[in-house]
Chains A and B, each alone.
Chain A
Amino acid sequence: MMQGPIQRTVRHRVEQRADARLPTAWIGGAAAQPTWTDGTWLTRTPGRAAATGTAPVLVLLGNGSEDARAALLAHAAAGARVYALAGPGWSKDQADTQVLQAPRVLVRRLAEVPASAVHAGTEARLWIGGGFIIRLDPTQAEALRQTFLRLFWHEATEEAWSGGRQFVWRPARERPFDVPEVPASAAVRWEPADARLTGDPRGALMHVNTGLPPDQAPRRLWFPAGPDHHERLAKLAHAGVEVLWADRGLPDLQVNGGAGEVLLPGTRGRLRVRLTAQQAPEVARLLEAPSAWRFQGNMRLGEAGHRAAQFWLSGEAAARGLEAEQLVEVPDVPAASLRDVPATEPASVPAAQPLALTVRYQWTVVPPRVPTGAEEDALVGRWRKLDEDWTARLVRCREVLVAAEGDRGRIGRAFSRLVSAMLGFERTHGGLLARVNALEAQRPSAAGPAGAPALLAQLAEVEDAARKLQTDLDEAERKAREDEEREKQQAAWQGRVDAANRDLPDRRTALATAESRRTAIADELRGVEESLKSADKQAKKDLTANQRKLSDDLQRANKEVTRLRGEITALEQQAAERFEFRPPPAPTGRPAQPGGRFVPTASSARPTANVPDEALPEVGSLRTHKGQRYLVIQTWDQLAAGEQVASRLAAKLVAPENA
């Protein structure tokens, strides 16, 4: 039984492969060092340069040209005119600059020099690779000379000569004549880069570096051990051909009886040398030497002799030895369900590498996991919303009750006449608070589809009672406030009537006084005006001044009379005023809800309308993705319960996303 968190599980399986077979392979062991004794025509020792007098000496400085360069220097030192062909990078080497000191050397460079060779007089030697030198017979030497001339005059691109401080390269000057093409039958010939050995391979000794193995079966074939052409090599091996290889730096070779040929490597051209009957046996000795590699087919892996060997298989980049155990890591395997995880295996496993004696397959079982992007299921949201509404409504009920308690205290203190009524409100308020406390201890989601409607009904009752309590409080306060206002307005009216009646007699007396004074002034004015008509100049001046003063006094007396009459009229109207009650304006900011301040309205819907018909899962979390429900559990001990809940909710049981 699995325990702990649910996560990926690594598993493995081991197979033995000692009896497995390789269809084809190159098998390489420790290379035996072949012994060699110089022959007459094929040697590994350069020998001494033959004295040629003043006859020109021709030198090809191809790859591995150290010996040829030494021969060049020897001939030049002996006074010969030396003509050399070198590759594009020649003269950059310090050793090459020794040639600069030689008296008469003309060097031309061309894109590629096919070989290293020295031609002096009728003697010629050709370096074929692997440190071997072929001494050419006169016919071959003449053909080599013609080949040299063709390369020198037709193919060279730059030239320089010895004798200066450095080689000053200049474009090769135009040739002074045409050099005939070297005939196809020539003993030495520079041929296109795709040239191949031309002799009949049947029964021959062959050494081939590039291209395809021959179609015909030679007696012994040296072919580069490697990944290619195993099918053809297998056919040859099956036909009895010894297929061998040792990298000795030799060119393509073929010897068949008294004939043979050498085909030197090259990217721009290849030098072919047709061997004489004397040269062929000596070259054949090269090809009879022991090999480092042997090509075989249908080999059993577990042979004791193969333990230390190197195998080069078809298509592989390099040779390798046997591998004691190969670890094969199989891609992750998804389990169909959480319960299937312990028994899940890959449907298939890759083949082991051919050289593995044992193979260990290893894979990881991945439990079913909730898909990335899966969201919370709607059922969970609905229950959560119901719980949140439940909580919010209870909070508001509590707030209303707390506010009602404050109002009750304030009203009781303001209106002493309501003290007895307030005691009744207090009892009602205490009962409602107790019910709210009881409901806050419960949740609709915990009650489930069966219990949730009853709880919601209780909550609605509490909300109604709280609302009624608040309404009653408001109405009691309103009535007390109106009575108080009426008494206040009546007292003010009575005060105004009493004051008017008290002031009227004084105002009427003041009016009579003012009217008499106005009459006296008017009479005096008329007298002055009469006197003015007969007065002399000096008196007239005084009378005029007096007339003006009296006119101003009369105007002021008229204004005073008018004012007093207006005041008397106003006092008379005030004394005759009748009482009329004016209700106070309704308090501002009060909600216009019929239910009263802060009291929630009762839900018009039925209490059970929003209650989901499924209960929440007892374990795990319920999520959904593309219409599929997933029940996510974290640990293996939730597996049994989770399977039941998943079944109830039609959900798939899965591990977390990061399992």
Chain B
Amino acid sequence: MRVVLTTEIPVSRVAVFAEMAWMERRPELGLLCRAAREHGNRITTAVVQSALPGLPDAGANNVIAWCKMLGLCDGRGGLTALGEDVADADEAPVPEQGVYGLWLAQHPVLGRRVLAVERLASNRDQRFESIEPLAVEPDRGKVFRSVLDGKGRFMVRDLPTNHGQPGGLIGDTRATCRLRWTLDFDQARDQWQLDGMIEAPQGNGKHAMRPMQHEPESDGLDLWNLASTWATGALSAFGRWQANERRLAVAFDGLAEGELNTFRKTLALRRVEIPGKGVYENVTLEDVPVGPASAQDAQRWAMARFDRHLSAKPGYRSRAEVREQFAQLTEDTPLETFAPTLPAHDDLLSQASKDPERFWSLAAPVDLSPFPAASDDLGPLRIGSPAPIAASEPAGVVRIPYRGGWSMRKLVDRLLSGVAPRRVLLCDRYVRGDDNLDALKLLVTALRAAAPNVTVDVWTGEEDADFKKVQAITGASPRSYREVFGRSLPHDRYLLVLPGQGQGFGWHMSNSPIHARADVKGAGPETPLRWKDLAATRVSADELEPALRQWLAGGGR
């Protein structure tokens, strides 16, 4: 979430008698202040003497008094903000008195600021009657940076006056100034900057207009707290602000295509107020996190996303892929908490009856599946809720239900079918990414828990894969799909088991075991994992593709 606030700030120009100080390079004072910072943020005699060896106590006290006069420390030697500045920049204020031309601006964000200063020659024109009270009285003792060149720094130490009412000669100015304040909620950072035009002295009392140069500054605003204050105000017209989730709960109707996918929405606010920092009109609040306002909205939202995904990437989808895709589109999104439901297969077909391409893309993979889908898989899928566990699976089928909570060891035990493997091959196009590699570690650990000396081979696609990481996990160098399969790449995942004795066999899987996720740190083989659907069907060697068959026969390793 992000907003850019802007406002125009009037600039006034005055000529005043003032005590000013210009920040000039004084490395010895910078050294002194840094020494103080290392000794309890206090300038003491010892600190002065450590920085200036050989200085007697009296001399050191003189230095301290001078620092106090400059404002680098307080009466007890404590380092002031100005002293910190000197320690950082090696620049210290050098006071002077005289008549100065000041360009002044005032706003809650930037305070009473001197934008630029010009030394003026004093004269005796006796225009006392022209002296007027200052409309903007600049902050004293605060270091300002000139917007003329962005380099010179100065401060107003005092505005001497006889009767306590600072005054000056009000001058004309054509200077313009605009505040541009960016609030980046996601980054928890605000930043403001001035821009505009201002007179620059050209000598002989002449001036020319120049663009302002101002380095961005931060106000340190608590942005999420600010959002909460807007919840009852500007945001209430759009939805319900959920402070804990830091998002706006909105109705499904009216959401644009992009908003459905990004869960972000841009709002046009007529007026917002930042307490103590001003009121801003016609504000555009970008990328506001949004989520469904109700379970019904969540369901419609989920189906809309699913529908758009199918349209964007047409193609045949097995029921397992449909379920996985629906889960992927809803899990870890604001929709998940509302547990949206993927309709049953037949219902999806009914919905697609007017769209033949969609209809066949869903119907054919189920009708023409080599392994009949379980009736549970064809039923509705409720996100976040464990799928029902089948009473009994057919022989040669291992099925992990959605959110079944199996550990990796449980899966491995079922896949090994009681044999002690000598070698295992995981054939999976996507062995990449930290999460998958973590799951691969669990798989390897579980396999070695069952058979300590088992060799684990991995065949995977080479795009974005880090073969060294895979080798570090398995101990064996993986082989690329292109090398093994050429152009006839398999679609599904396979786990091949070569026992110490007897015939090898394979598992033809609808999903990968390394797509399981541990919700806890330090997970082990026995840790229950978060699963998507996974159905593994046992196949014999002669049902496998030639390369896999060859691996079982001893080749291609």
A residues lining the B interface (CB < 8 Å): 56, 58, 81, 83, 104, 106, 146, 148-149, 152-153, 161, 163-164, 173-185
Contacts and interface: CB of A to CB of B under 8 A. Distances in A.
A176 B319 CA distance: 9
A634 B40 CA distance: 150
Contacts of A183: 540, 542-543
A174 B316 contact: yes
B314 A173 contact: yes
Contacts of A161: 356-357, 360
Interface in B475-534: 490-492, 508, 510
Nearest to B510: A177
Nearest to B540: A183
Contacts of A178: 370, 490-492, 508, 545
B317 A176 contact: yes
Interface SS, A side: loop
Nearest to B368: A149
B255 interface: no
Given A83-B367, A149-B370, A183-B540, A176 B321 contact: yes
B334 to A, nearest CB: 29
A180 B370 contact: yes
Given A83-B368, A146-B370, A176 B543 contact: no
B5 interface: no
Nearest to A58: B368
Given A83-B368, A149-B368, A153-B368, A176 B491 contact: yes
A184 B549 CA distance: 13
B296 interface: no
B11 interface: no
Given A106-B360, A177-B370, 6 more contacts: A81-B363, A146-B370, A176-B317, A177-B318, A179-B370, A180-B370
Which 4 pairs show the lowest CB-CB distances between chains A and B? A56-B367, A180-B543, A176-B316, A176-B365
B369 interface: yes
B491 A181 contact: no
B315 interface: yes
Contacts of B368: 56, 58, 83, 148-149, 152-153
B260 interface: no
12 contacts: A56-B368, A83-B367, A163-B356, A174-B315, A177-B492, A178-B491, A179-B370, A180-B544, A181-B542, A181-B543, A181-B545, A182-B543
Interface string B303-329: 000000000001111100100000000
A81 B363 CA distance: 9
Contacts of B543: 180-183
Contacts of B364: 83, 106
Nearest to B318: A176
B539 interface: yes
A163 B356 CA distance: 8
Given A106-B364, A178-B508, A173 B491 contact: no
A617 to B, nearest CB: 89
Interface string B406-432: 000000000000000000000000000
Contacts of B318: 176-177
A171 B359 CA distance: 17
A433 B539 CA distance: 132
A197 B240 CA distance: 75
Contacts of B542: 181, 183-185
Nearest to B367: A56
Interface of B: 314-318, 321, 356-357, 359-361, 363-365, 367-370, 490-492, 508, 510, 539-540, 542-545
Nearest to A57: B367
A163 B358 CA distance: 14
Given A146-B370, A149-B370, A183-B543, A177 B365 contact: yes
A58 to B, nearest CB: 8
A176 B315 contact: yes
A351 to B, nearest CB: 55
Contacts of B491: 174-178
Contacts of B508: 178, 180
A179 B369 CA distance: 8
B365 A173 contact: no
Contacts of B369: 149, 177
Contacts of B314: 173
A338 to B, nearest CB: 80
Nearest to A163: B356
Contacts of A146: 370
A164 B356 CA distance: 10
Contacts of B316: 173-176
Contacts of A182: 543
Contacts of A180: 370, 508, 539, 543-544
Contacts of A173: 314-316, 361
A222 B492 CA distance: 45
Contacts of B317: 176
A410 B88 CA distance: 160
B103 to A, nearest CB: 68
A547 to B, nearest CB: 133
Nearest to A179: B370
Contacts of A56: 363, 367-368
Given A176-B317, A177-B318, A81 B367 contact: yes
B544 A181 contact: yes
Contacts of B492: 177-178
A180 B507 CA distance: 11
B533 to A, nearest CB: 13
Contacts of B315: 173-174, 176
A204 to B, nearest CB: 26
Nearest to B321: A176
Nearest to A55: B367
A184 B542 CA distance: 7
Nearest to B315: A173
Contacts of A177: 318, 365, 369-370, 491-492, 510
A178 B365 CA distance: 11
A58 B369 CA distance: 12
A263 to B, nearest CB: 19
A83 B370 CA distance: 14
B412 to A, nearest CB: 22
Contacts of A176: 315-318, 321, 365, 491
A178 B369 CA distance: 9
A597 B321 CA distance: 132
A331 B405 CA distance: 96
Contacts of B367: 56, 81, 83
Contacts of B490: 178
Nearest to A108: B364
* Residue among B317, B356, B510, B545 with max Cβ neighbours from chain A (10 Å): B356
Nearest to B319: A176
B549 to A, nearest CB: 8
A335 B210 CA distance: 126
* Residue among A83, A152, A175, A180 with max Cβ neighbours from chain B (10 Å): A180
Contacts of A81: 363, 367
B323 to A, nearest CB: 13
A214 to B, nearest CB: 26
A124 to B, nearest CB: 15
Nearest to B349: A81
Contacts of B544: 180-181
Nearest to A54: B346
Nearest to B543: A180
* Residue among A177, A180, A185 with max Cβ neighbours from chain B (10 Å): A177
Contacts of B510: 177
A152 B370 CA distance: 11
* Residue among B315, B508, B543 with max Cβ neighbours from chain A (10 Å): B543
A142 B492 CA distance: 22
Contacts of B370: 146, 149, 177-180
Contacts of B363: 56, 81
A56 B359 CA distance: 14
A83 B321 CA distance: 21
A106 B358 CA distance: 12
